[in-house]
Structure 1
Amino acid sequence: MTRRLTLIAALALVALGGFFLYGQRAATGADPMAAYAQDAASVDTSMIADMTLGDQNAPVKLIEYASFTCPHCANFHAENFKKLKAEYIDTGKVAFTYREVYFDRPGLWASIVARCGENAESRYFGIAEMLYAQQQDWARKETPAEIVDSLRRIGKTAGLADADLDQCLQDADNAQALYAYYMKNVQADGIDSTPSFIIDGTKYSNMPWEEFQATLDKALAEG
């Protein structure tokens, strides 16, 4: 089984583009993510869906930009996201959208696993919660194969089959579209750090819960 998973991980790296091969940046000095950025504007992203929670007709619109490999994002989801969901999303006050930011290859692979399979929307946020809770484990593995193996285990815990994960991790077109969608969104909203938040069209950086709560309450009052 270990050998099979390692092979699939290696295939995934190839499928996501030769510039993703482990060690290329160290060997060449090139950014392995740069190849995606060069073609992002021309890529069809119509098949990429935003991941949302809550009533999308709620009075306040909130977009979170975050990376699955970002420690500050993990802290936000461990400490503040549950309060945000209970007090604002589940009560119909806030329409929530989560958008991934890809600073590195593991962050993209994590997103691919979270979005994998039929009815991905129904399990996405459950996988996202596991990715953040276990970030210190999977994101710190020494090799790409080990990282992908760890991500596969998270996906299987959420109910994905090996066949689902094999297909998703080898889908280079989907990986390209995800990266292009990320580029278009962060450029449009001026995102330069994570986590960042767009609340009714205004960008905010990460903030303590009390300040976050006050900002949402002000938006609700003004709406």
Structure 2
Amino acid sequence: MVKKLIPALAALAVVAAGAWWFTSGTGGPSQTSINALGAQTAASPAADVDASLVPDMALGDPDAPITIIEYASFTCPHCATFHAQVLPQLKANYIETGKVHFIHREVYFDRYGLWAAMVARCGGEMRYFGLADRIYSTQSDWARHQDPAVAVEQLRRLGRAAGLNDDQLNACLENGEMAQAMVGVYQANAEADDVNSTPTLIVNGQKHGNMSYADLSALLDSLLAQ
């Protein structure tokens, strides 16, 4: 089943009521509550966030004839399948050949998905998609874990494997302003594009649900033939 979005206000409540951030010392991860972040996020409308902190992460030529925006959650199994089975073929046949500009926009169902996105963004644009691939491919290891401390440590390991150090990861995971901006930008984008499930694909402005590569390829070829 395709995962349904929680309402925008509920997404804010995830941060307001349950935002826990982690730092690691010599004894491993410890858990800290950031109540101020929750209060700020709940009180601030999306229009007040600094959207420049959350640039779109994209692949391919911005001037390509087709733009695909994928709305996806790092905790959504169908999104992980899309990134494992569809995106590699899409990259080889359409993105790298200049036919498609691909944008990945994060959706936050829960705090695990928000943490994963913060780790993915921690490496900047150059590392983002490599980290995203690692996060999606190991989703079953961290996203279903009952202990948040273990889940976040597994996400940290992925960051370390991509070349980030603990200081960098701590700074990213403890960045309340960034978390607030990410939730606000997600809220604004999802409302503007009428996104209510993941994965959702916006192909040249038209909304589509989850697709196999065969169906997506047929759609793209029909657009390119016009």
**Would you call these one fold, judging by a TM-score over 0.5?**
yes
Note if 1:63 corresponds to 2:69: yes
Alpha-carbon shift at residue 172 of structure 1 (Å): 0.3
Matches within 5 A, 1:17-166: 17=37, 36=42, 39-117=45-123, 120-166=124-170
* Root mean square deviation, CA, Å: 1.9
**Offset, 1:16:** 8.0
Aligned-residue identity in percent: 50
Once residues 42 and 53 of structure 2 are traced to their aligned partners in structure 1, the CA distance between those partners, rounded to angstroms, is 17
Residues 54 and 185, structure 2, Cα contact 8 Å, conserved in 1: yes
Q: How big is the shift at 1:79?
A: 1.0
Deviation at 1:159, TM superposition (A): 0.4
1:48-94, Cα deviation, whole Å (9 max, x unpaired): 11000011111111111100000000111111110011000011000
CA distance in 1, matches of 2:195, 2:38: 28
1:164-209: CA deviation from partner (whole Å, max 9, x where unpaired): 0011111100000001000000000000011110000000000222
Partner of 1:186: 190
CA drift of 1:18 comes to 5.3
Quote the residue 2:172 is aligned against.
168
- Which secondary structure state, in structure 1, belongs to the residue aligned with residue 68 of structure 2? strand
2:43 and 2:190 map into 1 onto residues whose CA distance is: 12
- Point out the structure with the larger strand share: 2
Q: Distance in 2 between matches of 1:177 and 1:4?
A: 31
Residues in 2 aligned to 1:111 and 1:37: alpha-carbon distance in whole angstroms: 22
* Distance in structure 1 (CA, Å) of the matches to 2:186 and 2:93: 28
| Aligned match of 1:203 | 207
Q: Which residues of structure 2 form unaligned runs of 5+?
A: 1-23
TM-score under structure 1 length normalisation:
0.85
Structure 2: distance between partners of 1:64 and 1:218: 19
